[in-house]
Amino acid sequence: MYESDGSIMVYWHAVHTPEGATAAAVFARGIAATKSHYICVGSSTGSILVFNIPPKGTNITVSDVLEEHREPITDIACDCSEHKGCIADLVTADDSGVLCIWKSGEDFKLIHKISSYGSTCSSVRMWSGMIAAGYGNGQIQMYDAETGAMQVEVNAHGRWVCALDIASDSGKLLSGAEDSFVRVWRLSRNPESNAIEVEHSHTECVTDVQVCGAKFCDPRGNAFAVTGYDLSEIIRYIQV
């Protein structure tokens, strides 16, 4: 962990390395900062390390290790919106497709554990009490963070969904996949039933590129950037 300008490394943590010639190396995958002073980092063992970040100084400590997953962690996301009424604010995903929804704090509490649907959950995002999960079968599934119930299933892509992002100010959802397509969706809730609704807004084809990274460039979602497998460029798109 570094100072915000990247100039000084203030903390490092050595993950446990198993012994034996056939033991696989342990690596970190998935990171998210909660609204409180914690940073969660996933690992290939399925554990999630919770780091306590002090308001001042560099006395960073491992305050908890979450052991609910049995497969390597693929992604972690936190709900940093001002949504009220839902105590769940963190979601973690693993290689088997299991999702765990948590309430962060001094004692992290498991709120819901969503069973696998038979496909890896490769990317997950959380916003305003909604959870967007992208899967290896090309689907995006939307969950209600408060109840853990799946409310929307979208056949979004023809191949593996590699990246999701949500524009915090508008609720736009960005998805990128190995099928070379990047799509923008609009997330909302029905004012009468409070059910999650997803509307397709825009599609871009990145010709001959297996998209592996996609992210909005501003909180409104008026621009986004993508990159692809074996591509040394970042391509930026602007809404006009």
Q: What angle do CA 184, 190, 195 make, to 5 degrees?
A: 85
Mean pLDDT, residues 8-36? 82
Domain assignment present for residue 3? The answer is no
Alpha carbon distances (Å) from 216 to 112, 162, 175, 231: 28, 15, 10, 19
pLDDT of the residue at 99: 98
Q: Please, which pLDDT band fits residue 20 given cuts at 50, 70 and 90?
A: low
d(CA 239, CA 142): 25
CATH no. for residue 168?
2.130.10.10
The whole-angstrom separation of Cα 177 and Cα 170 is 22
Decide if 60 is inside a domain.
Answer: no
Instruction: For residue range 148-182, list pLDDT tens digits in order.
Output: 999 999 999 999 999 999 999 999 999 999 999 99
What's the pLDDT at 239? 85
Strand 73-78 and strand 181-189: the pairing is: unpaired
Strands 38-43 and 28-33: antiparallel
What does the pLDDT average to over 186-214?
A: 95
Tell me the per-residue pLDDT of 55-94, one tens digit each, with 9 for 90 and over: 888 899 999 999 999 999 999 999 977 666 668 999 999 9
Which domain does 105 fall in, by range? 71-238
Residue 4 has pLDDT above 90, yes or no: no
With respect to residue 51, please indicate whether it lies within any of the assigned structural domains: no
Cα separation, 87 vs 222, in Å, equals 30
What's the number of domains the chain is made of? 1
Percent of the residues in the chain that have a pLDDT greater than 70, as a whole number: 95
Q: Is residue 58 part of a domain?
A: no
Q: Is residue 36 part of a domain?
A: no
13 in any annotated domain = no
Give me the chain's average pLDDT, please.
92
- pLDDT reading at 16 higher than 80: no
Bridge partners of 70, per DSSP, are none
14 domain-assigned: no
Residues 6+ apart with CB under 8 A from 84: none
Res. 117 pLDDT band, cuts 50 70 90: confident
pLDDT recorded at residue 156: 96
pTM: 0.92
Average pLDDT for 218-232: 95
Query: Does the residue 98 lie in any domain?
Result: yes
Distance in angstroms (rounded) separating the CA atoms of residues 91 and 46: 14
Residue 73 near residue 29, CB atoms below 8 Å:
yes
